[in-house]
Homo-oligomer: A and B are copies of this chain.
Amino acid sequence: MDGWQANMILDDGGDLTHWVYKKYPNVFKKIRGIVEESVTGVHRLYQLSKAGKLCVPAMNVNDSVTKQKFDNLYCCRESILDGLKRTTDVMFGGKQVVVCGYGEVGKGCCAALKALGAIVYITEIDPICALQACMDGFRVVKLNEVIRQVDVVITCTGNKNVVTREHLDRMKNSCIVCNMGHSNTEIDVTSLRTPELTWERVRSQVDHVIWPDGKRVVLLAEGRLLNLSCSTVPTFVLSITATTQALALIELYNAPEGRYKQDVYLLPKKMDEYVASLHLPSFDAHLTELTDDQAKYLGLNKNGPFKPNYYRY
């Protein structure tokens, strides 16, 4: 590609952005913006921005409403079932499950498991999420209160060492342990790499960790993300993400001088709504349009955006 020069960066994790910064800083002269997809990459962009080192506008598409809901709530509601079935063939009905973390991922996992007849317990650090769990019909407990009795342990906290060796020591035989949250930090897998425990790979992504007394804990994907390792991502979710990225690229490229400075921006609400509207026809969904009179009454433009930025959906 002789003579080709990049004019936008589309990144997922921030590694590309970092690499260009380190090796080819001159490239930024022609770059009109960065679109970043991941939690980690967004974090790195905000750090650059704070440090005054961000030299082009950047768009955080990770936190667009549509992308968030599909990546977390809707997708995990299905992939928790899929991931557990493909790896363990476990029957959900009647199983006792503890889900660590009742954010969007936890909410999705719990809704699906409850619907299929599992009895679900929640652990939470945040009292607001804990209260939501109560209102949705779940007991909120400390992990130690239920660790001896549960059949499945699922982490979705974004935290580290949520499941420790002590917890693992107290689990009952055949307990399944997996991670739907963040990277591979939530379960302290390292603590299981000790001489007295035997690891037995029973099939791809499934290890039995065997205690001296014969107790087996079923560890999935070695504590990495179950939804990525043992399940699939529906094309519909990929379409939401790709559309969001494409619109962000177009917006940054076409934006008139001065609309975006050398800072990190959320996707404009109106484009977030546009991503959603593009996916409605596949459900044969028909939107209602505001009349002029109604738009005036609500103080809204008939084409949106329809909600204030702080609206929670």
Instruction: Identify the A interface with B (CB < 8 A).
Output: 63, 65-66, 68-69, 74-75, 77-78, 81-82, 85-86, 89-94, 96, 104, 111-112, 114-119, 123-143, 145, 149, 158-162, 185, 231-232, 234-237, 266, 272-274, 276-277, 279-280, 282-291, 293-294, 297-298, 304, 306-307, 309-310, 312-313
CA distance A82 to B89 in the complex (A): 9
A118 touches B137 (CB 8 A): yes
Asked if A132 contacts B285 (CB within 8 A), the reply is: no
By a CB distance below 8 angstroms, the chain B residues around A139 are 119, 284-285
**B294→A161 contact, CB < 8 A:** yes
Contact B293 A134 (CB under 8 A): no
- Pair B93/A280 contact, Cβ less than 8 Å: no
Given contacts A141-B286, A272-B128, A298-B159, contact A117 B90 (CB under 8 A): no
| Residues of B contacting A86 in the complex (Cβ-Cβ under 8 angstroms) | 82, 85-86
Partner of A234, one of B63, B69, B90, B129: B90
Q: Do the beta carbons of B276 and A130 come within 8 Å of each other?
A: yes
Residue numbers in B under 8 Å from A285 (CB-CB): 130-131, 133-134, 139-141
| CB atoms of B85 and A135 under 8 A apart | no
| Contact A91–B78 (Cβ < 8 Å) | yes
Which of B82, B160, B276 meets A127, CB within 8 Å?
Answer: B276
In contact, A131 and B298 (Cβ under 8 angstroms): no
> Which residues on B sit within 8 Å (CB–CB) of A130?
276-277, 280, 285, 287
Chain B residues with CB under 8 A of A304: 126-127
Among B272, B283, B288, the residue within 8 A (CB) of A143 is: B288
B125 touches A306 (CB 8 A): yes
Task: Give the shortest distance, in Å, between A98 (CB) and chain B (any CB).
Answer: 11
Q: Is the CB of B89 within 8 A of A126?
A: no
- Whether A93 and B287, one on each chain, are in contact in the complex, defined by CB atoms closer than 8 angstroms, is no
Known: A127-B274, A158-B298. 14 other contacts (CB 8 A): A63-B310, A69-B135, A74-B93, A74-B135, A81-B81, A86-B86, A112-B115, A112-B116, A125-B289, A125-B290, A130-B285, A130-B287, A140-B285, A161-B293
| Cross-interface CB contact of A85 among B82, B142, B149, B160, cutoff 8 Å | B82
Chain B residue with Cβ nearest A120: B137
Chain B positions within 8 Å of A235 at CB level: 89, 91
Contact A93 B135 (CB under 8 A): yes
Q: What separation, in Å, do the CA atoms of A235 and B185 have in the docked complex? A: 32
* Cβ-closest chain B residue relative to A81: B81
B132 touches A313 (CB 8 A): yes
Q: How far is the CB of A108 from chain B (nearest CB, A)?
A: 10
Select A129's contact among B82, B89, B104, B313, beta carbons within 8 Å. Answer: B313
Complex formed: what's the CA distance from A287 to B125 in Å? 6
Q: A63-B310, A117-B136, A137-B118 are in contact. Are A288 and B92 (CB under 8 A)?
A: no
